[in-house]
């Protein structure tokens, strides 16, 4: 069933250069889009947004660590290793389950959704597209992406429930950033005053 679902999606590739290029862009660059989005939200957001960004990024890292542990326990070869298929981009023959790209995308989106739904929803749509593009490109099975979604949901939920434990660290990081930024703004003001 997993392979049949994979074929039904991957066989859509190779018919349109535009679609293939778009899927390759998403599968390669989506994680950078998430990173830039978090950076922008951190820079231009208030304290609550900065907390959401730290939780989203931190939860994503924890989920990827869980992925590594899962891959050590259960090894699933990638589709192009087991079957004779043509991938859209080259990739190492490492574990297929779960998908790291999809896990990172889903986790950031879900963690953000818990705190800011209006931001989390478009992020989740991009995460779905990321997972779909991994199948389209021939790098993952559908169940790899589904496994990533499950990991993201569980880890995000656990971190939300344990947020009281992480709040002191999160608040400390934000206070450090604010103090550094405050010193810079004071020094900038003093230099402007001297110029006058």
What are the tens digits of pLDDT across the range 93-108?
889 999 999 999 999 9
* pTM metric for this prediction: 0.89
Judge residue 85's burial from the number of C-beta atoms within 10 Å of its C-beta, 0-12 exposed, 13-18 middle, 19 or more buried. Answer: middle
What is the C-alpha to C-alpha distance for residues 196 and 193, in angstroms, rounded to an integer? 5
Using CA atoms, how far residue 50 sits from 41, 44, 149, 171, in Å, is 7, 9, 24, 9
Domain ranges within the chain, ordered by starting residue? 2-190
- The CATH number assigned to the domain with range 2-190 reads 1.20.144.10
Please give the DSSP secondary-structure letter assigned to residue 103: H
Q: What is the 3-state secondary structure (H, E, C) of 144-183?
A: HHHHHHHHHHHHHHHHHHCHHHHHHHHHHHHHHHHHHHHH
137-175 pLDDT, tens per residue?
Answer: 999 999 999 999 999 999 999 999 999 999 999 999 999
Contact 98, 76 (CB under 8 A): no
């Amino acid at each position: 069933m997993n392979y049949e679902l994979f074929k039904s999606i991957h066989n859509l590739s190779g018919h349109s250069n535009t679609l293939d290029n778009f899927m390759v862009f998403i599968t390669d660059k989506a994680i950078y889009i998430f990173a830039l989005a978090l950076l922008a939200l951190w820079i231009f957001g208030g304290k609550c947004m900065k907390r959401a960004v730290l939780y989203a990024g931190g939860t994503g890292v924890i989920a990827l660590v869980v992925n590594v542990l899962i891959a050590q326990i259960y090894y699933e070869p990638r589709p192009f290793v087991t079957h004779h298929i043509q991938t859209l981009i080259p990739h190492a023959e490492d574990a297929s389950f779960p998908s790291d790209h999809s896990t990172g995308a889903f986790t950031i989106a879900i963690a953000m959704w818990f705190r800011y739904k209006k931001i989390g929803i478009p992020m989740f749509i991009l995460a779905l597209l990321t997972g779909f593009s991994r199948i389209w490109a021939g790098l993952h099975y559908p169940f790899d992406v589904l496994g990533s979604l499950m990991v993201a949901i569980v880890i995000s939920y656990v971190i939300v429930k344990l947020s009281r434990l992480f709040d002191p660290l999160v608040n400390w990081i934000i206070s450090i950033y604010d103090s550094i930024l405050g010193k810079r703004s004071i020094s900038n003001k003093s230099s402007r005053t001297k110029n006058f």
